[in-house]
Structures are given as structure tokens and as C-alpha cells.
Amino acid sequence: MDKLVIEGGKSLRGEVTVSGAKNAVLPILAATLLTEEPCVIKGVPNLRDTNTMLKILRSLGKNAEFDKGTVRVTQAKETNFVADYKLVSTMRASFCVLGPLLGKLKKAKVSLPGGCVIGVRPVDLHLKGFKALGTEITIEGGYVNAVAKNLKGNRMYLGGAYGSSVLATDNVMMAAVLAKGKTIIESAACEPEVVDLAEFLIKMGAKIKGYGTPIIEIEGVKYLHGAEHRIIPDRIEAGTFIIAALITRGDITIKNVMFQHLGALIDKLEEAGAHISRTDGSMRVRSRKRLTPINITTLPYPGFPTDIQAQIMSLMTVTPGISVITEKIYPDRFMHVAELNRMGAHIQREGPHAIVEGIKHLSGAPVMASDLRASAGLVLAGLAAKGLTSVSRIYHLERGYENMEMKLQALGAKIWREKE
Ligand code: UD1
């Protein structure tokens, strides 16, 4: 296993290009199961999670070649309807092969993904949606068996205790595109990655309206064909580099970015005093003065993303004053708090709130990554800290950030990889 070692205190300067969005590419690759015709997906980030999804597609009967950011998916043999525990348990997003398998074959057997370090993460909303489409669901031996003799459009409400669900919306939408008649998903997730999936499905011949709003309408079709698509830029990676510029008092130009996907983050950072300017397809982030504390509550899109909560917390640890960060999507997503405190941060957790008392500087320490975004938060803290920080278990980071250390090195960071 590798760890990342960071010598903090360098201001990051220069240009960085954001990769394709992890949370868009995973369901879009799953959607290729809806057709036997070839599909070409461009702008694909080379991530551990992308490669897991390609393995799953191969296990389900596809050929999937990945070369220089382009994935070509073709049919190798008859589609297999069983998604194995070994693959699904390593990545929650693999559960979203259930929808396309059900749409195409009217049956699927997919392992339940299980919990993870950021919380229980149930799939009840996915199953509720499939049942509404006339699917019989049984759970046996850790697998979901889904059979639909007559997959039929229906009206359904997919809001849960924490609001809408991104992957449940994706999953059910992928089944409904090949159902008979009209489906209406109420309380659908509005995330840009759901929109990207809907746009890919439309290129395949699906009839979908209202995507990007809480009410999605799908008119089922009989057949979907192959399509070509380019993945949207990763707004979470972009957000991480925006914070990297601010936490190191640097000046970074971020390319391949969709400004409109980052509204909540930019608004909060401007409130804190950050200087963010927009040019065509890129943005420049500068830290001209010390920031002031801000309060943040994570919410479904267009609210503040939970996937940037750990990173903004790192920024607030070195922003003198009190900030309150409230997590409303995953109330237990605070594994990074204890690690940041090991670096000298003053953070107190009270239920879904983290109260951060910002100090002048952190001091480097050995810390451990517990999940993908927590790892990013710790790397950012290391960039700002005095002395050496080592972040172990960086395989988490590799799940969702393409070439993170190389991109940071190019911006002037002193960061390198060592064996643990
Ligand atoms: C997606 C993202 C993840 C992000 C999350 C929230 C992908 C691959 N991952 O995960 O990076 O952190 O959205 O923006 O796109 N819930 C239920 N029942 C369900 C499903 C979800 O109660 O059946 C709850 C979850 O526990 C959570 C909330 O709903 O509290 C939102 O989760 P959801 O949007 O489903 O997250 P994912 O789609 O798994």
C-alpha cells in the first residue's frame, strides 16, 4: 500500500485541467448494458472506480476497451444477468447495473452493496422505484433478485429521509426507459451527473423530459441503440482545486470546468472573501486576503455538496474564527475530524454539526484516509500545514481523483508517494 507525503507551506500556482466526472461516468457506463450496439464514451477519467465498472461490464458480457480517455463498449457474448458480490462490494455505484439489466432483460440478480465508512447507505429507494415499475423483488443470500414479467411505467415518489437519491434516480430511470408506457419520478435527484446520464440515454433513443428538475417524465421505448458521448467535467475535483488555491494562498487557473455546477461552493467562498473570476470554460482562484469563517449545510444539488464537506472543513481549520459545518446527507460523514485534530485543528463534533475554531496554521502529522473525500480533505490540510504530513491508505483517493499528485506537483506542491 502507498501513502502520500506532503511538505506543506507552498503556495500553489499555475494551471490545472479537471478530468471527467466520476459520478457521471459510472452510471453512463452501466447504461451501455441497455443496448447490444457499440457505445463510445469520451473524457473518461482513469480511476480505480472506472476500472471496477469496466470489470463489471466485462463480467456481464461486454467488451470494454479503455484507451487515452475513451471507452469503447461492444457486445462480446449474451448479457449475463448476475452481478457478482466480489465486484459490487468494492464499489457502491456498481448497484446501478440493476436498472439497465432489468430494462433490457426484465430480470437481474445483483449483490447488495453493503455499508461503508460514511454510513449505512441503504438501497430502499432504488427497490421502491423498481417495484413501482411492476418488478418482483426478493432478497436472498445477499443478492437482490429482480424479475419483471411486465415492466410498466408508473408514477413514483423517490424522496427519502435525506432528500432525493442520485443513484436511485439513475437506476430507476435506466429501467424505465425500456418499460411500457409513461413513468413519472417525483423528488428525483437534480445533480448534473443525472442530467449527463439522461442526455446519454436520449442519444441512445430514450424519451426523457424534466431531467435536472425534481420531476422526471419518461416515455418508454422498445429499443435503444448505440451512442457516443463526452462526460461532463468533475465538479467535485474542480471544487477540490478551488480550495487548494485558497488553503495555500495561491493563484490557480482551473480548466475544463462548468461554473454553473459550482454555484453553492462559489457563493460560500465569495462570502468568505475569496476572489474567483470566470473566463471561457475556465476559472481563476486567488487568495488576496485572509478568509473569514462561514457556516455550511450540505444539501442535495443545487445545495452545497456533501462531497466537498471534508475539503471545506480543512479550509475552515485555518480560517480564524468559528465556522459551523452541518452534514444533512450523511450525518456520520465526519471520519476526517479526528485526523484533522491530530494536525492541531480545533474541531468539535456535535451530532450532524462540526464546530470548527479556525487557527493560524496546522502542523504536519501522519494521518489516515478513511474514504475518498476525507482523503482529499487531508491532502489539502497537508498542503497548508507546517512540516511533513503523510496520508496513508491513499487507494481511497485513487477511487475518485485522476493523477491527483501529478496535478498538484505541476502546481508547485511538494508531494510524493512512498510505500507504507
Ligand atoms: C451519490 C454519489 C456520492 C455522493 C452522494 C450524495 C455517485 C456514484 N455517488 O451517491 O458521491 O456523496 O450521491 O450526493 O454518484 N438513501 C436512502 N435510501 C436509498 C438511497 C439513498 O435512504 O435507497 C440516502 C443515503 O443514505 C443518503 C441520501 O439518501 O443519506 C443520499 O444518498 P444518494 O444520493 O443515494 O447517494 P448515492 O447515489 O449512493
Alpha-carbon gap, residue 138 to 393, rounded angstroms: 36
Compare 178 and 332 and report the one with higher pLDDT. Answer: 178
CATH 3.65.10.10 maps onto the chain at 2-19+233-419, 22-230
Could you tell me the pLDDT band of residue 89, with boundaries at 50, 70 and 90? confident
Which residue bears the cell 444477468? 81
CB 174 within 8 A of CB 96: yes
Pick the CATH number of 22-230 from 3.65.10.10, 1.10.1060.10, 3.20.20.70, 3.90.1490.10: 3.65.10.10
**Is residue 310 within 6 Å of ligand 1 at its C-beta?**
no
Q: What is the DSSP string of 258-314?
A: -GGGGHHHHHHHHHTT-EEEEETTEEEEE--S------EEB-STTSB-GGGHHHHHH
DSSP letter for 77, please. S
pTM above 0.95, yes or no: yes
Mention the CATH class of domain 2-19+233-419: alpha beta
Question: 296 C-alpha vs ligand 1 centroid, how far in Å?
Answer: 19
All three cell numbers of 267, joined, read 457563493
Lowest mean pLDDT among 139-143, 299-303, 317-321: 139-143
Could you tell me the pLDDT band of residue 115, with boundaries at 50, 70 and 90? low
| Mean pLDDT, rounded, of the chain | 95
Give residue 287's pLDDT. Answer: 84
Could you tell me the pLDDT band of residue 119, with boundaries at 50, 70 and 90? low
130-143: b or e for each residue (b if 16 or more CB lie within 10 Å)?
bebbbbeeeeeeeb
Could you tell me the pLDDT band of residue 87, with boundaries at 50, 70 and 90? confident
Catalytic residue set: 116
Report the percent of the chain where pLDDT is more than 90. 91
Could you tell me the pLDDT band of residue 1, with boundaries at 50, 70 and 90? confident
Alpha-carbon gap, residue 42 to 45, rounded angstroms: 9
Nearest CA to ligand 1 atom 12: 307
pLDDT at 359 over 90: yes
Give residue 183's pLDDT. Answer: 98
**Is residue 307 within 6 Å of ligand 1 at its C-beta?**
yes
Alpha-carbon gap, residue 24 to 7, rounded angstroms: 33
Question: 167 C-alpha vs ligand 1 centroid, how far in Å?
Answer: 6
CA distances from 241 to 8, 178, 204, 377, 394 (A): 16, 39, 34, 11, 18
**Is residue 169 within 6 Å of ligand 1 at its C-beta?**
no
What is the mean pLDDT of the segment spanning 299-316?
98
Q: Is 351 exposed, middle or buried (0-12, 13-18, 19+ CB in 10 A)?
A: exposed
Give residue 90's pLDDT. Answer: 86
- pLDDT per residue as tens digits for the range 174-200: 999 999 999 999 999 999 999 999 999
All three cell numbers of 175, joined, read 429501467
- pLDDT per residue as tens digits for the range 343-352: 999 999 999 9
Question: 122 C-alpha vs ligand 1 centroid, how far in Å?
Answer: 9
- pLDDT per residue as tens digits for the range 367-417: 998 899 999 999 999 999 999 999 999 989 999 999 999 999 999 999 999
**Is residue 252 within 6 Å of ligand 1 at its C-beta?**
no
Ligand 1 atom closest to 127 (CA): 23
**Is residue 32 within 6 Å of ligand 1 at its C-beta?**
no
Q: Using alpha carbons only, how large is the chain's radius of gyration in Å?
A: 21
Could you tell me the pLDDT band of residue 120, with boundaries at 50, 70 and 90? low
